[in-house]
A = this chain, B = another copy of it.
Amino acid sequence: MAQLRIALAQVNPTVGDLAGNRRLVVESARRAAEEGAHLVVMPEMVVTGYPVEDLALRNSFVSASVRATRELAADLESAGLGETPVVAGFLSRREGRSGAGGHSGQPAGAPQNSVAVLHRGRVVLTSAKHHLPNYGVFDEFRNFVPGDTLPVVRVHGVDVALVVCEDLWQEGGPATAARVAGAGLVLSLNGSPYERHKDDVRLDLCQRRAREIGAALAYVNMVGGQDDLVFEGDSLVVDAEGELVARAPQFEEHLLVADLDLPEAHDPGPAAAPDGADGLRIVRHTLSGTPVAPYEPRRNTVTPRPDPLSDTGEVYQALVVGLRDYVVKNGFASVLVAVSGGIDSALVATIAVDAVGADRVHGLLLPSEHSSGHSVADAEDLAKRQGFAARTVAIAPMVTAFERASASADTPLSGLAAENLQARVRGTLLMAVSNQEGHLVLATSNKSESATGYSTLYGDSVGGFAPIKDCWKTLVWDLARWRNAEAERRGQVPPIPENSISKPPSAELRPDQLDSDSLPDYEVLDAVLDAYVGTDKGEAELVFAGFDRDLVRRVIRLVDRAEYKRRQSAPGTKISSRNLSRDRRLPITNRWTV
Chain B residues with CB under 8 A of A18: 592
In-complex Cβ contact of A458 among B17, B105, B458 (8 A) = B458
Chain B residues with CB under 8 A of A139: 134, 139, 142, 585
In-complex Cβ contact of A142 among B135, B464, B592 (8 A) = B135
Q: Contacts A142-B135, A393-B408, A570-B568; is A536 near B428 (CB within 8 Å)? A: no
Q: Is A524 an interface residue (CB 8 A)?
A: no
Distance (whole angstroms) from the CB of A186 to the closest CB of chain B? 19
Instruction: Scan residues 392-433 of chain A and give those whose CB is less than 8 A from a CB of chain B.
Output: 392-395, 397-398, 400-402, 404-406, 408-414, 416-417, 420-421, 424-425, 427-429, 431-433
Residue of B nearest to A65 (CB): B592
Which of A55, A391, A462, A592: most chain B CB closer than 10 A?
A592
Instruction: Scan residues 101-124 of chain A and give those whose CB is less than 8 A from a CB of chain B.
Output: 102-105, 107-109
Residue contact A591 to B14, C-beta cutoff 8 Å: yes
Q: Is A57 an interface residue (CB 8 A)?
A: yes
Distance (whole angstroms) from the CB of A156 to the closest CB of chain B? 35
Q: How many residues of A contact B (CB 8 A)?
A: 104
Q: Is A594 an interface residue (CB 8 A)?
A: yes
A446 to B119 Cα, complex, angstroms: 51
Chain B residues with CB under 8 A of A393: 405-406, 408-409
Residue contact B398 to A55, C-beta cutoff 8 Å: no
Instruction: Scan residues 194-210 of chain A and give those whose CB is less than 8 A from a CB of chain B.
Output: none
Chain B residues with CB under 8 A of A584: 54
Chain B residues with CB under 8 A of A492: none
Instruction: Scan residues 469-512 of chain A and give those whose CB is less than 8 A from a CB of chain B.
Output: none
Residue contact B53 to A587, C-beta cutoff 8 Å: yes
Q: Is A518 an interface residue (CB 8 A)?
A: no
Chain B residues with CB under 8 A of A107: 135
Instruction: Scan residues 261-308 of chain A and give those whose CB is less than 8 A from a CB of chain B.
Output: none
Q: Is A359 an interface residue (CB 8 A)?
A: no
In-complex Cβ contact of A405 among B413, B429, B569 (8 A) = B429
Q: Is A437 an interface residue (CB 8 A)?
A: yes
Instruction: Scan residues 304-327 of chain A and give those whose CB is less than 8 A from a CB of chain B.
Output: 325-326
Distance (whole angstroms) from the CB of A226 to the closest CB of chain B? 6
Chain B residues with CB under 8 A of A325: 589
Residue contact A104 to B171, C-beta cutoff 8 Å: yes
In-complex Cβ contact of A585 among B17, B54, B425 (8 A) = B54
Residue contact A432 to B590, C-beta cutoff 8 Å: no
Residue of B nearest to A20 (CB): B591
Q: Contacts A61-B538, A135-B102, A411-B433; is A55 near B592 (CB within 8 Å)? A: yes
Q: Contacts A401-B397, A431-B420, A436-B417; is A588 near B409 (CB within 8 Å)? A: no
Q: Is A539 an interface residue (CB 8 A)?
A: yes
Chain B residues with CB under 8 A of A567: 570-571
Q: Is A253 an interface residue (CB 8 A)?
A: no
Residue contact A405 to B397, C-beta cutoff 8 Å: yes
Distance (whole angstroms) from the CB of A425 to the closest CB of chain B? 7
Q: Is A519 an interface residue (CB 8 A)?
A: no
Q: Is A330 an interface residue (CB 8 A)?
A: yes
A437 to B412 Cα, complex, angstroms: 10
Q: Is A170 an interface residue (CB 8 A)?
A: yes
Residue contact B330 to A589, C-beta cutoff 8 Å: yes
A392 to B410 Cα, complex, angstroms: 10
Residue contact B406 to A433, C-beta cutoff 8 Å: yes
A431 to B418 Cα, complex, angstroms: 11
Q: Contacts A108-B536, A226-B587; is A409 near B428 (CB within 8 Å)? A: no
Beyond A53-B586, A420-B435, A564-B571, 16 additional pairs, beta carbon < 8 A: A51-B587, A55-B586, A60-B537, A105-B133, A109-B536, A139-B142, A330-B589, A398-B402, A402-B432, A411-B437, A413-B435, A417-B433, A417-B436, A420-B432, A457-B462, A564-B570
Please list 16 pairs of residues, one from A and one from B, whose beta carbons are closer than 8 Å in the complex, sorted by A's number: A16-B590, A20-B591, A54-B584, A54-B586, A58-B538, A60-B538, A61-B538, A103-B169, A104-B170, A107-B135, A135-B142, A142-B585, A325-B589, A391-B411, A397-B405, A564-B571
